[in-house]
A and B are shown apart, each in its own frame.
Chain A
Amino acid sequence: DAGITQSPRHKVTETGTPVTLRCHQTENHRYMYWYRQDPGHGLRLIHYSYGVKDTDKGEVSDGYSVSRSKTEDFLLTLESATSSQTSVYFCAIMGGSRGSPGAYEQYFGPGTRLTVT
């Protein structure tokens, strides 16, 4: 158990409203990630963070912003939700195995199911 929680777990919102999803970790990991999961696409990276106030874009970042004001929390905001953002959102942290950075394992939260009507 990597100590990752996500809130809310389920949310229904209307088109045009802002939405913020929260990822919380308890083990002081430096790297955190937001992915979305859609049928036929697997998981795709939205944004990631490599430290407090250090974030960068992923493959599908349009329409999303993130913030990380403290190590344990990584927030994903949909500025103005659209139906195309209906998805399951997963937060992940990168574990700390030694060696090549590419060898680091990722551990995932339970996900947030977001529906935009």
Chain B
Amino acid sequence: GNSVTQMEGPVTLSEEAFLTINCTYTATGYPSLFWYVQYPGEGLQLLLKATKADDKGSNKGFEATYRKETTSFHLEKGSVQVSDSAVYFCALSPFSFGGSQGNLIFGKGTKLSVKP
């Protein structure tokens, strides 16, 4: 079946540190991959996505590359800020011929805290 595994948190970093949050997936077919971010008390916001192997999604200084050979989609940022403190979710959308229900399958989330 389809599943997403991401590193458990919480992750605590100092401002300007390098961030990596690991995400690996299991899927049949050719899934699309997403990172969502949830700030305290809010809903999820799409951070970035990649739809095929070797695609790199990027947004707000965050990047993730769709690696089919390692079934991974690790999130990286070169220099985090206090405002990046949030919970980050890796997710996949399975693709199935004949129609897709389009639902997302989420990892459990990684809480990031950035200290000044």
A residues contacting B by CB (< 8 A) are: 31, 33, 40-45, 48, 50, 56, 58, 90, 92, 94, 99-111
Contact = CB atoms under 8 A, between A and B. Distances in A.
B102 A43 contact: no
Contact residues on B (Cβ < 8 Å of other chain), bracket: 20 to 34
Given A100-B51, A103-B51, A43 B43 contact: no
A106 B32 contact: no
B51 A99 contact: yes
A102 B107 contact: no
B108 interface: yes
Given A43-B104, A108-B43, A108-B45, 17 more contacts: A42-B107, A42-B108, A42-B109, A43-B106, A45-B103, A56-B101, A58-B103, A90-B43, A92-B44, A100-B32, A100-B51, A100-B95, A102-B30, A103-B51, A104-B32, A104-B102, A106-B104
A50 B44 contact: no
B108 A40 contact: yes
The 6 closest A-B pairs by CB, nearest first: A102-B95, A101-B100, A42-B106, A108-B43, A102-B32, A102-B93
Contacts of A110: 42-43
Given A33-B103, A106-B104, A42 B89 contact: yes
A105 B102 CA distance: 9
A33 B105 CA distance: 12
